[in-house]
Structure 1
Amino acid sequence: MRYFFLSFLLFIISNSLRAQQLSTFSPDKNIKLEISVDNGFAYYQVFFQDEEFLAKSPLGLISSAGDFTKGLKLVANKTNKIQESYQLNRSKVSQVSYKANEINCTFTNTANDIINIIFRVTNTDVAFGYLIPKSKKNTGNCIIEKEITGFKLPSKTTTFITPQAPPLSGWEKTKPSYEEEYTREEPIGTKSQYGLGFTFPALFHLGNKGWLLISETGISGNYVGTRLSDASSEGIYTITFPQEGENNHDGPVTATALLPMQTSWKTITIGKTLKPIVESTAATDVVKPLVKTSKIFDSGRASWSWIVWQDESCNYNDQKTFIDLAADMKCEFILIDALWDVNIGKEKMAELVNYAKSKNVGVLLWYNSNGNWNTAPQTPKNKMNTSEARRSEMKWLQEIGVKGLKIDFFGGDKQATMKLYHDILVDAAEFGLNINFHGATLPRGWERMYPNYMTSEAVLASENLVFQQGFSDRYPSTATIYPFTRNAVASMDFGPVFLNKRLHREANKGTIRKTTDAFEMATAVVFFSAVQHWGLTPENLKEKPSYLFDYLKNVPTVWDETVYIDGYPGKYCVIARRKNTKWYIAAINGENAPKNITVNLPMLKGKNVSIINDGEGQESKFSTKKLDNASFNLELSANGGTVLYMP
């Protein structure tokens, strides 16, 4: 009997050591996070309103400070309530009230090495990251070789995600650059196009349960940019580090930092509808400003010759024409794209900057990021890749009065490249230059971290409307995916608003635009970018009705509030945004058939509004109306749109 009792006691003790579990909730109790250790392996699980949104998913990493993927024990945990208010001045919202329940879990491995996993749970998001502390045993630098962090989705989940491109692929070996097509409700487990997994953000439709968006934030050169693997047979997507060939083999694929070492934050936004995903501020909630400056960096709209008139327009006279267009449209900027150094030259560029200044237009200049990580011939190049060259160039730019830079062709997510983004932003802030990255990674919290960060491409953008008729044909549908994916987490420089019937300088050449004029007007609101580069050309002002341009002269590019109204990725999207007291509501139809949608717009009840909607063919029509009630019927043409705004 005594032997049986001792055996039973040892069994209980053994199991208590082997299986550990704790949980925490969102402030409103709708989200439940469970953290567990089973047989030495750490897991987490996420529930929303008692339904499982993420099944038991793995946690852990392998580092020079210890292997934290197995043999783990949960030895302590500490809870905290986070409550913070902060401002953003270049985002989709301006005032954020951040409330989260935090649980900091301390784990040890069999060698008694220590790691902390910090979770924060808001009413819409779960964010977590790893912290490896400094200890007597582990000092100095720590190298993280891999994460095993995973996300186990329900079995019938479908996806809206983009595949990772192979390194040194694409035009002039410039990929990967987050410029691939989105999947459209593919079943989880479907192999990615190149067999290399998927980039962030990743949107998942959990059927009747709702929606889930996974992304990453909080990287400033301290970590690699990660991605998702292809799903395992169990439906688990795991975190994957960069490929060796990225950035032309420049730098290791691992992450290195001085202890204590904080990884990036992984964010999970969930809801029954897409509303939490459109309105989430998870990307900025868990980061802090990194650069202090008294300088003011302006957002705004820009004219841009290259998108329709292409390389040949990068000459003094054409750029002067587009400066005049910017002035006529009350744009804050003109973007002068690649090859300006060869076709215009520094001396004449100084003249152009002065001419633009006389028109109250700021100049933005294009640069190639290159050291040696691509073979793109566009210049100027080798000006941004080293500190000495970059600071010398930025000093000259500051002297002649340039306002900002568009820097292109980065080609990877290694820590060396993430540090290059950071170094460019820090140096540019000192010289009073705002920054736009193209051919680039997903921005990860940068709208709050850097005062001069404006926008990034990191999406299959409007240049493809010019390059590919197929993309132009798919664009109405594709445009309705972006607000729920890429543009939900950060500023996105797509380069919208086209009024040419054919996207070429000559009227009878180029790809054919498939969207209506009202659709194009709506993208000025549906797409958020702190600097918005229009696809307008000078002849548009003569060919189209003046009310379109009156609207574009006043539409903001940064917002005080963003509200999801309705939508479904690939089909349609309706979003409301507010600047000061004025609301703009924009709708786009992604399908090649007319669509009637009744929406609830309480912010416009009893207000006088101006309406741009679809007329005959691609043409638009304009009206004004007082909305007596909150209900409004949107009549959208095939590939059409509507904008309602307060004059």
Structure 2
Amino acid sequence: MRLILFALLFLFYSSALKAQSTSALSPDKSLELKISVTDGKVFYNLFYQQEEFLSQSPLGLLSSVGDFTKDLKLIGKTSSKIQESYKLNRSKVSEVNYLANETKFTFVNKENDTIHIVFRISNNDVAFSYWIPKSKKNSNDCIVEKEITGFKLPSGTTTFITPQAPPLSGWEKTKPSYEEEYTREEKVGTKSQYGLGYTFPALFHLGNKGWLLISETGISGNYPGTRLSDADSEGIYSVSFPQEGENNFNGAVTASSTLPMQTSWKTITLGKTLKPIVESTVSTDVVKPLIKSSKVFDTGRASWSWIVWQDESCNYNDQKTFIDLAANLKCEFILIDALWDVKIGKEKMTELVNYAKSKNVGVILWYNSNGNWNTAPQTPKDKMNTAEARRKEMQWLQQIGVKGLKIDFFGGDKQVTMKLYHDILIDAAEFGLGINFHGATLPRGWERMYPNYMTSEAVLASENLVFQQGFSDRYPSTATIYPFTRNTVAAMDFGPVFLNKRLHRDPNKGTVRKTTDAFEMATAVVFFSPVQHWGLTPENLQEKPSYLFDYLKNVPTVWDETVYLDGYPGKYCVIARRKNTKWYIAAINGENVRKKITVNLPMLKGKGVSIIADGNEQESKFSIQKLQNTTFDFNLSPNGGTVIFTP
């Protein structure tokens, strides 16, 4: 009898493994998720307006408390509605009304270990996370060894993604640091430059179907930062954990936590156009604030000597000059970069901070993140890598009135490194310091999670305009990729707005700028960062017309609303942003050909506006108009731009 009962149970379990399926919809029913279990393996498909955007893609992970990659059975499904309104004060929008349908799918393996896969589906976003509960069998620690999460794109798809760099590569072994060139419509499945896959966010063009962006959010030291593998023979990109050599072999490549354990959220944003991608808030929708603080962390614009004047400018007199420049431009900050501890010293830095205060300018100071995870020699170093050293330094910074820190050279995504980001942010919040990370990972929901997180580099940024003529030549096109990729998921400290013809202190040396002045003005709006570090120098004030600086004195760095108007990665971009009642509409041309782009601007109908547009050669022209119609023609010069703004 027992044998018969066992046989019946085995047959039941076997049949359950072979064919199970279920689905879930977005609130407007335009986006459909399908979950299926075939031969004990879990898959998902995504459909938008009844067209398949993701083909059958695998789900699951391998952990120390259970193998959830095979022999799985769906045993439960619970659904609920998520309706939440929240505010952001350092973002591309200030108020979010988040509406989504949440479905938790419960699976067991043949050992009866349980895992939940939680999906949240809004009208253009899907976010999902794995959740491993406590049980009588498993009540302590859990190690996740790998995910098999995958993304199968339709054939014919093209990519705008950045390759993962090898560990301990790049200058002074500081990579990987999300500072690689984007692919430009490479065929899906093309092997990455280094054979190590690609970093988030990853943008895919599905031809006539539309666009899809994959990213990750919700990491605070609880999980490593992950990436996409190269596509396998079936065209599936899989989630990969960090490489062993990252951070100079410090830390494990796996994820560990006490149970219950939740992984990071993987996010997918999709639509017929790029509008849902540019306007998405999914990276903050699925996270929560981690700490509360009564302290005020200011945002704003900063002068920055290093970007054009380089290391030699890190001296007392030059920094005083750039404090005066910040005051003239009504900038809230000056960024004083590497080697200040040696070339200026702490005693004289106190004097500089006090001088800046007298000019109503806050000081941001650079630090090396090390540790021993790379060989970058710039100081100050060994001040941010341990709690004791960090808190002692931050206490001094608070005492002299420093407003924020730029911390550089992290070089990896292991959980131990993600924990370091978290610990720095937590300590800095206590001491009233805003934080900017460079040579760093992609921020993952941090503008909502931490009150003092400002911005991160995590992109091939403006220093490369100074270092490489080739990057400067490609920059107009590159700049039109960033708003649809890196900058749509989080703040991006590119360091825009240059007016020098040659990017060097000596006007006869250095790389040659290829963009127009109007293009540079437009990047102040196109690129979003709560703290914007301008590439301006003191001589610009005498060389260029005053209306450029009148505009820069008032342009916001945080926004109440962001609206996609038009664009194509690598070709052009038109974005509108609003602060209070004032609108800023910016267009940049990524190609070396003249362009006319017509957009609808209902928010400006009947209003008087100021316009900075392309003039002769690189120079700009200024006009004041009253817009009678809802449409506007942007006539963009090669590598040019336009910015329209209301008074």
Question: What's the counterpart of residue 597 of structure 1?
Answer: 597
Counterpart Cα distance in 1 of 2:12 and 2:303: 71
**Aligned-pair CA distance for 1:18:** 2.0
Question: What's the counterpart of residue 122 of structure 2?
Answer: 122
- Other structure's SS at 1:424 match: helix
Counterpart Cα distance in 2 of 1:9 and 1:176: 50
Counterpart Cα distance in 1 of 2:392 and 2:408: 19
**Aligned-pair CA distance for 1:508:** 0.2
**Aligned-pair CA distance for 1:140:** 1.3
Residue 644 of structure 1 aligns with an amino acid whose one-letter code is I
Aligned CA distance change for structure 1 residues 490 and 166 (closer, same or farther; 3 Å): same
- Other structure's SS at 2:644 match: strand
Counterpart Cα distance in 1 of 2:53 and 2:478: 26
Aligned CA distance change for structure 1 residues 107 and 262 (closer, same or farther; 3 Å): same
Question: What's the counterpart of residue 86 of structure 2?
Answer: 86
User: Mapping of 1:570-609 within 5 angstroms?
Assistant: 570-609=570-609
**Does the Cα contact within 8 Å between 2:19 and 2:36 map onto a contact in 1?**
yes
User: Mapping of 1:136-285 within 5 angstroms?
Assistant: 136-285=136-285
Question: What's the counterpart of residue 105 of structure 2?
Answer: 105
Counterpart Cα distance in 2 of 1:396 and 1:496: 31
Counterpart Cα distance in 2 of 1:139 and 1:392: 38
Residue 258 of structure 2 aligns with an amino acid whose one-letter code is L
User: Mapping of 1:468-547 within 5 angstroms?
Assistant: 468-547=468-547
Question: What's the counterpart of residue 3 of structure 1?
Answer: none
Counterpart Cα distance in 2 of 1:134 and 1:193: 41
Residue 498 of structure 2 aligns with an amino acid whose one-letter code is F
Question: What's the counterpart of residue 37 of structure 2?
Answer: 37
Aligned CA distance change for structure 1 residues 244 and 562 (closer, same or farther; 3 Å): same
| Bigger shift: residues 231-240 or 511-520 | 231-240
- TM-score of the two chains, using structure 2 as the length reference: 0.98
Counterpart Cα distance in 2 of 1:114 and 1:95: 37
Question: What's the counterpart of residue 569 of structure 1?
Answer: 569
**Aligned-pair CA distance for 1:14:** 5.2
Question: What's the counterpart of residue 430 of structure 2?
Answer: 430
Residue 604 of structure 1 aligns with an amino acid whose one-letter code is L
The percentage of counterpart residues that share the same residue type is 81
Counterpart Cα distance in 2 of 1:15 and 1:611: 67
Question: What's the counterpart of residue 59 of structure 1?
Answer: 59
**Does the Cα contact within 8 Å between 2:434 and 2:453 map onto a contact in 1?**
yes
Counterpart Cα distance in 2 of 1:283 and 1:152: 22
Aligned CA distance change for structure 1 residues 8 and 130 (closer, same or farther; 3 Å): closer
**Does the Cα contact within 8 Å between 2:48 and 2:271 map onto a contact in 1?**
yes
Q: Deviations over 1:285-334 (max 9, x none)?
A: 00000011100101100000000000000000000000000000000000
Counterpart Cα distance in 1 of 2:198 and 2:246: 15
Aligned CA distance change for structure 1 residues 13 and 414 (closer, same or farther; 3 Å): closer
Q: Deviations over 1:20-65 (max 9, x none)?
A: 1110100011000011111100011100000000001000000011
- Other structure's SS at 1:154 match: coil
Aligned CA distance change for structure 1 residues 348 and 390 (closer, same or farther; 3 Å): same
**Aligned-pair CA distance for 1:233:** 1.8
Q: Deviations over 1:518-563 (max 9, x none)?
A: 0000000000000000000000000000000000000000000000
**Does the Cα contact within 8 Å between 2:17 and 2:71 map onto a contact in 1?**
no
Task: Note the residue ranges of structure 1 that are not aligned, 5 or more in a row.
Answer: 1-6
Counterpart Cα distance in 2 of 1:580 and 1:526: 18
Question: What's the counterpart of residue 4 of structure 1?
Answer: none
Counterpart Cα distance in 1 of 2:126 and 2:279: 15
Question: What's the counterpart of residue 646 of structure 2?
Answer: 646
- Other structure's SS at 2:78 match: strand
- Other structure's SS at 2:383 match: coil
**Aligned-pair CA distance for 1:139:** 1.3
Question: What's the counterpart of residue 374 of structure 1?
Answer: 374
**Does the Cα contact within 8 Å between 2:16 and 2:73 map onto a contact in 1?**
no
Q: Deviations over 1:336-372 (max 9, x none)?
A: 0000000000000000000000000000000000000
**Aligned-pair CA distance for 1:15:** 3.8
Q: Deviations over 1:186-208 (max 9, x none)?
A: 00110000000000000000000
Residue 607 of structure 1 aligns with an amino acid whose one-letter code is K
Q: Deviations over 1:482-535 (max 9, x none)?
A: 000000000000000000000000000000000000000000000000000000
**Aligned-pair CA distance for 1:469:** 0.1
Residue 400 of structure 1 aligns with an amino acid whose one-letter code is I
Counterpart Cα distance in 2 of 1:230 and 1:109: 28
Question: What's the counterpart of residue 633 of structure 2?
Answer: 633
Question: What's the counterpart of residue 346 of structure 2?
Answer: 346
- TM-score of the two chains, using structure 1 as the length reference: 0.98
Question: What's the counterpart of residue 383 of structure 1?
Answer: 383
Counterpart Cα distance in 1 of 2:317 and 2:306: 13
Question: What's the counterpart of residue 301 of structure 1?
Answer: 301
Q: Deviations over 1:228-287 (max 9, x none)?
A: 000112110000000000000000000111100000000000000000000000000000
**Aligned-pair CA distance for 1:473:** 0.1
- Other structure's SS at 1:112 match: coil
Residue 163 of structure 1 aligns with an amino acid whose one-letter code is P
Task: Note the residue ranges of structure 2 that are not aligned, 5 or more in a row.
Answer: 1-6
- Other structure's SS at 1:54 match: strand
Counterpart Cα distance in 2 of 1:24 and 1:39: 22
Residue 284 of structure 1 aligns with an amino acid whose one-letter code is T
**Does the Cα contact within 8 Å between 2:17 and 2:72 map onto a contact in 1?**
no
Residue 624 of structure 2 aligns with an amino acid whose one-letter code is T
Question: What's the counterpart of residue 4 of structure 2?
Answer: none
Counterpart Cα distance in 1 of 2:10 and 2:425: 58
- Other structure's SS at 1:555 match: coil
Corresponding pairs, count:
641
Q: Deviations over 1:86-142 (max 9, x none)?
A: 000000000000000000011000100000000000001000000000111101110
**CA root-mean-square deviation:** 1.3
Residue 62 of structure 2 aligns with an amino acid whose one-letter code is I
Residue 236 of structure 1 aligns with an amino acid whose one-letter code is I
Counterpart Cα distance in 1 of 2:443 and 2:141: 26
**Aligned-pair CA distance for 1:17:** 4.5
Counterpart Cα distance in 1 of 2:177 and 2:161: 14
- Other structure's SS at 1:440 match: coil
2:609 counterpart of 1:612: no
